[in-house]
Structure 1
Amino acid sequence: MNKKILEILNPITDEEKAILDGAEHINRNLYYSDEKSSTPDDEIDSSRVLQDGKLIDMRPHVRFIHFPLHTHNYVEFIYMCQGETTHIIDGQRIVLKEGDLLFMNQHARQEILPAGENDIAVNFMILPEFFDTAFSMLEKNESPLRDFLVSCLTKKNADGNFLYFKVSDIPQIQNIMENMIWNMIGTDSTDYQNVNQVTIGLLFLNLLKHTESIGVSRTSYDQEIMFKLLRYIDTDYRDASLTSFSNSVSEDPYVLSRIIKKNTGSTFKELLQSKRLNKAQELLKNTNISIADISVMVGYDNTSFFHRLFRRNFGCSPRDFRLNS
């Protein structure tokens, strides 16, 4: 982490001074609309942490005190700049190390153990509509893997409401996070929101290249299976099969089919077909490879079947698609 950033983030804040002076609890007025409420899963209100109509904001994580169990009505992600912090999310203990990223959707229930002076993290608070522009950058990389990742980050998932990324050894992602922090430190420019939306888009483009670094809840078997499956389809679409994948993960094909349908609304065959046809479109548009060869390259040895399938899905022949692209 850039030393100048750490120098800016490290000073004791007024909130932390109050804690060091003897405050035994967090200042609820900074986080909750109803100061007197103390339910087991208090909801932090975006109107308290996101001001002046902002869709995204950043603040250093408060140190020296236990942050009690809570939810939030926005998407939150935490970047660990230095040291470590311990989070208990939906009952699971997560220790963030320097360079790690933790994403939580609006349904995650979290508490945070006290951090020391040299444990520096930043919290990004994001309203869901912020992602509309950021994720539009991913349209050219449309895939079931992308869709599943986006869903995990922004919507309720029955098996897990958070993801964490162990990406400290990926320079591109570390550079993006440093740039984003710089963009948001002391920035009052009206352009900052657009810049940050683009930066978030770049972050996710890079995270999609490193989904092997995603950590999931120990109880979230579905998530673990889905990330393995969608990576498998993305890389091995030419020869992929449900039988082959089931053997690789030692799971019954029937159980896998239920997990896939539950989490995507599609079957394995439909996901595989979508990947193959999207790849075919890419090759038709960007190369001069013959249609017959493209058919074989994406997994269809029967060229006539490929033509029928392509027309059924896109309303035109592969040749017409190429001519009009």
Structure 2
Amino acid sequence: MKKNEINHYLYQLTEREKFFKNKPASESMDDHSDFDVYTNQMGDRVFKYTFEKHLQKAIESHTHISTHLRTSPLLVFKHNRYAYTPLHSHDFIEINYVYNGQAHITIDNTTLILEKGDLCILDTDVVHRISNTSDSDILVNILMKKEYFSSNMLNRLASNNIIAEFAVRSISETHSHDQYIIFTTEDSEILQDAISGLLVYYLDPVSYSLDAINAYMIIIFSELLKSYTQKKSLEYRSTNQQYIGDILQYIEKNYATCSLAEVATHFNFNASYLSRYLKKQTGSTFMKMIQDIRLNHACALLKNSTYSIEEICQQIGYRNLTFFYKKFTTTFHCTPNNYRNTYRKMIEEE
């Protein structure tokens, strides 16, 4: 399958869609007996979806990729149009992406309307349902185990960039508090292309599909981080406030030369106030932030360039080679040369 075939795949009617297309969908017409059910405080029946049962259903309906599915940390499928979706919760993280049209999602008696390009991440145990969709409403569902979402995706994104680290932490806190978060991506072509690529490697797997799927998931979450920080920046600017993400982005861009006083002047802050503000918002001092950025860039240069240690030291903003060696060794428990040699040996052995 190729990317240009995904659009046809998503719009093509499945057997289930054909069945429900001309029949008013209701709970009694669909079979959810595979899942446990309980009654909530409002007296509503709520089905408990599990990753393992969804996996088993996927294996049964996609026998040609069953081997791939058994080792996959996530499940990807098109939400069936016209079919009834009951109130339910689940033991996995769910992503709903509106490929086209709209999606009406009810959470805690509040109905949210997602437009084309919008994406919703739902936490485990959130009771919700998706209203019946029509011909043009194409919704892509991604189900993932919580450990994949937290350790594989968010931690990787936050590991080498202070802006991403702050955004990931903010998103995680919002997600934990509200149990869901909606991203408005302005119909991002990059995001839609990544969703299509994800579907290609999921539906037509090859030996390196898992690596490709992980790469596309990184692109998807990178786009979500960009959308989140841009939205927050606009919200703060509309009230004549300075968004912390803009300050972090400036520091990231000028890490090799900027000082606390220079950053404070650029954003019309008092240096002492900026120092306290950064500490409160990020949990890190300005000097620790600069050091972490410099050392992360040093690691990237050690792995991906042939620059000498002295050249790397100068590029990242350190003027004292001995000081750089001391900071690097303290942080990574090895010298820069050992770090480079270990990485090269690891690459050669792969």
Q: TM-score under structure 1 normalisation?
A: 0.68
In structure 2, the CA distance between the partners of 1:298 and 1:215, relative to structure 1 (3 Å rule), is closer
Aligned to 1:44: 49
Instruction: State the secondary structure of the residue aligned to 1:157.
Output: helix
Q: Which moved more, 1:155-164 or 1:290-299?
A: 155-164
Q: Pick the aligned partner of 1:166 from 185, 207, 219.
A: 185
Residue 60 of structure 1 is matched in structure 2 by 78
Work out whether residues 233 and 240 of structure 1, in 8 Å CA contact, stay in contact via their aligned partners in 2: yes
> What one-letter code is carried by the residue in structure 1 that aligns with 2:299?
Q
Offset at 1:72? 2.6
> Aligned equivalents of 2:126 and 2:244: distance in 1?
20
| Alignment partner, residue 195 of structure 2 | 177
Deviation (angstroms), 1:119: 0.9
Q: Distance in 1 between matches of 2:245 and 2:90?
A: 26
Percent sequence identity over aligned pairs: 21
Q: Deviations over 1:295-314 (max 9, x none)?
A: 34323345443333223223
Go from structure 1 to structure 2 and tell me whether the alpha carbon gap of 1:210 and 1:285 turns closer, same or farther (over 3 Å shift): same
Structure 2 equivalent of residue 257 of structure 1: 279
Corresponding position of 1:34 = 36
Relative to its length, the structure with more helix (as a share) is 2
Q: Which residue of 2 aligns with 1:22?
A: 24
Kept in 2: contact 1:163–1:214 (CA 8 A): no
Whether the 8 Å contact between 1:16 and 1:62 is mirrored in structure 2 is no
**How many residues in Structure 1 have an aligned counterpart in Structure 2?**
312
> 5+ residue gaps in structure 2?
60-69, 237-241, 345-350
The AA in structure 1 aligned to 2:50 is D
1:198 matched to 2:212? The reply is yes
Whether the aligned pair in 2 keeps the contact of 1:32 and 1:45 (CA below 8 Å) is no
Q: CA RMSD in A?
A: 4.9
Report the CA distance between 1:276 and its aligned residue: 1.0
> Aligned to 1:126, which of 144, 147, 151?
144
The alpha-carbon distance between structure 1 residues 301 and 35, as it changes in their structure 2 partners (threshold 3 A), is same
Does structure 1 residue 9 correspond to structure 2 residue 14?
A: no
Measured after TM superposition, the shift of residue 82 of structure 1 is 2.0
Greater Rg over alpha carbons, structure:
2
Q: Secondary structure at the match of 2:135?
A: coil
Q: Structure 1 residue 255: deviation in Å?
A: 4.8
CA distance in 1, matches of 2:124, 2:213: 21
Could you give the per-residue CA deviations for residues 25-54 of structure 1, whole angstroms, max 9, x where no partner exists? 487853883335345694533244332556
Structure 1 regions of 5+ residues with no counterpart? none
